[in-house]
Amino acid sequence: MLNVGKFLGIRIRSLLFVIAFPIIAVTVTSYQLDPIESTNGIEILAWLFTPKFSFPAFLILFSGTSLLVTDYFVQAKISGLNKSLAVRLHGFKHLLVTEFLSVFLYTFGLMVLTMIVSAVVIHFTQHPFVFTGSIHSEFLISSSPIISFLWLILTRAWGMAIFTMFVFAIGLWMARISLFRISGLLVSLVMYVGVVLLARIAVLRIAGGLLFLQTLISPTGLSDFGPYLLPIPAVVMHLFSCVIYLGLTFVIAASWYRHEVMPK
């Protein structure tokens, strides 16, 4: 893994992200306008990664996929710095694998921290988190508050990490850093809004459900979206979505490697 955390710019942007996302999510939100019958902060946390809860926070969340650690790697590719990194790491293939692993681990850790900070903010400003007894909600995976809480953190963290790798793979094909910096938001909107249109075609509904961004990062919230009321458990949909996004990431990155590196 590359030690990207040593770069001051990445540390500052990551700190701002961890602070800004939960604060904006719970202050600039439609939650008060469309209240959820909630007695536990865990239910609010389940909604946190959906645009219905806080669209400004949604924009921050997905802008971060191309403005944090991936930004450094794409800049290195555009500037040619990745050539010297490839020499140090014994080839472009090893460099590429190391970059993707770094993106996944860094994003996963960052999102776990962000979810924990978000939980603290929700606990003190919206509803307290209660981990005793049972909880019943269509947006949670279990009646156990602890299991639901851990599931929320882990699925959001690895879902965002996988999606960030997907955005990074697309960024390998971009020649301008300014274009890449808005690509995370653009790709997320396509995978969120665009596949809704796909779901209008009955035979493509399952494909749309698997590509639907919320399936990847917020599977327990799927019941809120009519086009994706499929006879498939949300957990199964989520796992298939992870595999599909990882497969697409591999295909895009491998195609770039064969096109840009192997001929040389």
Residue 194, pLDDT > 60, answer yes
Task: Decide which of 42 and 87 is more confident.
Answer: 42
Write down the pLDDT at residue 160.
94
Indicate the pLDDT class of residue 116, thresholds 50, 70 and 90.
very high
Q: Among residues of the chain, what percentage have pLDDT more than 70?
A: 84
**CA atoms of 253 and 250, how far apart (whole Å):** 5
Lowest mean pLDDT among 41-50, 80-89, 199-208: 199-208
Determine contact, residues 194/204, Cβ cutoff 8 Å: no
pTM of the full structure: 0.89
- Looking at mean pLDDT, say which of 99-103, 129-133, 260-264 comes out highest: 99-103
Q: Domain coordinates of the chain in residue numbers? A: 4-260
**CA atoms of 156 and 57, how far apart (whole Å):** 14
Residue 144: left (phi > 0), alpha (psi -120 to 50), or beta? Answer: beta
User: What value does the mean pLDDT of the chain take?
Assistant: 82
Residue 44, pLDDT > 70, answer yes
